[in-house]
Homo-oligomer: A and B are copies of this chain.
Amino acid sequence: MSHLHKNIANETGDFTAKLKPVAPDGAVVIENERKRSIINVKQLSEHLLTSQYLERQRRVLDILRQEKIFSKATQANLSRPDRYKLGLARGKRMRQLQDLHGWNDDDFLMAEYLVDDIQPYHLHISLFTAAVREQANDEQRASWMPKIAAWEIIGAYAQTELGHGSNVRGIETEARWDQSSKEFVLHSPTITASKWWNGTLGRTANYAVVIAQLMLPEDGTYKSYGPHPFIVQIRDMKTHRPPDSIVVGDIGPKYGYAAMDNAYCLFNQHRIPFSAMLSRFSSIDPETGIYTKPKSPSSVYGQLTRGRSVIVMHARLILARAVTVAVRYLSVRRQFRDQDDPTQPLETPVLDYTTVQIRILPLLATTFALHYAGSHMKQLYERTRKNDTTLDTVDHAALSELHVTSAGLKSLATTLAADSIETCRRSMGGHGFGGGTGLVQLNADYLSKPTVEGDNWMITQQVARYLIKKVKECIQSPESHAFSETEEHVKAYLSARLQKPRIDILRSDQAIVHAFNWRMAHLAYKAYDARELQKKSWNSLLIELHKLSTAYSQAMLVSNFYTAVVRQQGSLPFDTLTKSVLVDLFRLFVFNIMNSEAREFQNSGAVSSEDLDEIPNKVLELMASIRPHAVRLVDAWSIPDYLLDSALGRYDGRVYEDLFHRAHVVNPLNKLTFNPRYKEDEIVLGSGDAQHILAKL
């Protein structure tokens, strides 16, 4: 028997062992839910995830389930130091399993995803490896990459500082070139210069790529040539301690990522050799100290787009997880009888209430919207990487545009996913606050995403700047050919905006896409007008620019969703019913946005107020159509119970048995008996000990 087999038998021997939940129990209810729909879950699952992905998920999961170290049952009870130790042990074991089973990178990533607890080695295998590979010259690569691949050294990536995040040019750490010794002197002039947040560096790494201002002597002083990367040994290979000229440690508990050792790190006139500067793009001549400027980096066309498609595809799975838990639990949970028909024998399943549906079902639709947009980005990127000769000018224009505008999609997708975890949690009432949701750690960890890799409010500026430029170009050259779809939409808007065409959103899915593009172009034109003609300050426009980026990204989601489930419906391998459910999800997704942003659509001039007033009823109808398929739709996302780690979201619906098992069998606090008498300082009854807990403060 595997260690992680989800045994919820009650073997306590007390009277509770014989009790069952009140009928109908969750297992019966969830089975009935699955009988209400004929959606082919396997087919839809392969459509969303590919059979290759599903095979990998099963194969890696089977291996992980054999190992007690990957059990999640009690980890929420551990202290922060123990969470780090557990993470380190898990990271070691994962790498051992990689050696043992010959896992490739995708297998290893799958294992990390399933274990779902960031491991202290994570920055070694991600940013550190990438930084050396991309920024080292050939000789440096040859020297470092084998050691990195074999985990002979463990590295981190040290860029951000206590006082400096998004603005990399503002970092304070200095690397001064000493011509006489042919060394660099790394130095942290202030507390705010301390490296900060750098994962893996706090307790784990012995090396790091450190970003520092390259300072070269000039006229008796030092001049900065901007931030450059240096590979630096941080700790002794035997004692694992830093030299006196380096202070390094873990920054302490955070919102999430308990297992990760995010670092602070300072240097005091710390000397590193000439060879430490990673010199693929710029370099120093060790003999003369003369600096060679960065060559323009080899084409990274598409790289950023790929990274952002990964974020979007990840966001859809996070969202799918939260929605899976909510849909399953809210189907099982019943509360109150129907007010208009109090003779019903059973209380109403909570998912039947429209106030619950409106919070959950649009999020279910959003998992599909993110999926089709992320897939589209990924496919475009993969075609360029393979030098696909069928790529035409339009594809290249699209990719070049995505390079800029994917910032907006990163912002929107991670905000949606982060907010949705909490929306799902709150929809589940009391048990939503319990540890059985499987969402406690997910939420704490994922809340970093709206900030990292570009703050979600900051990076939307580049989308807006790009769109303002496009409007300007289209106005200046009205006759020019539109290469990208965005240009087409802007041109269409500019030529028709005074007529204010009425777009018939209620009768045509194509019209819906049109309305989203029209609204985007309208906001882009308004932003152009405010900035370029009225010359308003950038800061005074930021709020509107953020909205513009959101409108643009929503139009991207809508357009990709439409293409996949309406325009190219013929190519979908599904039966008619499944296809119509997908179209309902598309419509629910779009109408729900239109409803929230109704006035923007109305003010754009193309959607009538009467049509907008109809939307709430449309939304109710669509939710009623989708409701019977909800459980099968979340099943299609194929989130394994091991990953969910959720009593409420279990595949088999045995919600109450699992909640009770976690409390009565698993919870370690119940192994202790306490002394409640306040005049006695003793805590654990009979221990006589009043000092134990005080000593931990």
Contact = CB atoms under 8 A, between A and B. Distances in A.
Contacts of A89: 681, 683, 690, 693-694
Contact of A191 (B21, B602, B684, B694): B21
A249 B660 contact: no
A620 interface: yes
A7 interface: no
A544 B694 contact: no
A476 interface: no
Nearest to A152: B677
A578 interface: no
A249 B451 contact: no
A616 B544 contact: yes
Given A167-B347, A197-B430, A683-B88, A69 B697 contact: yes
B429 A455 contact: yes
A670 B77 contact: no
A261 to B, nearest CB: 7
A206 B256 CA distance: 36
Given A599-B602, A694-B69, A255 B19 contact: no
B347 A170 contact: yes
B88 A674 contact: yes
B433 A190 contact: no
B261 A537 contact: no
A447 B683 CA distance: 29
A247 B15 contact: yes
Interface string A248-291: 01111111100001001010100000000000000000000000
Contact of A667 (B188, B192, B204, B249): B249
Interface string A435-450: 1100010000001101
Contact of A678 (B92, B241, B539, B673): B92
Interface string A138-162: 0000000000000100100000101
Interface in A170-190: 170, 172, 188-190
A696 interface: yes
A303 interface: no
Interface in A418-469: 422, 425-426, 429-430, 432-436, 440, 447-448, 450-452, 455-458
14 contacts: A15-B268, A19-B188, A19-B266, A20-B190, A22-B192, A78-B696, A165-B429, A240-B676, A249-B663, A249-B670, A252-B666, A254-B435, A264-B660, A599-B612
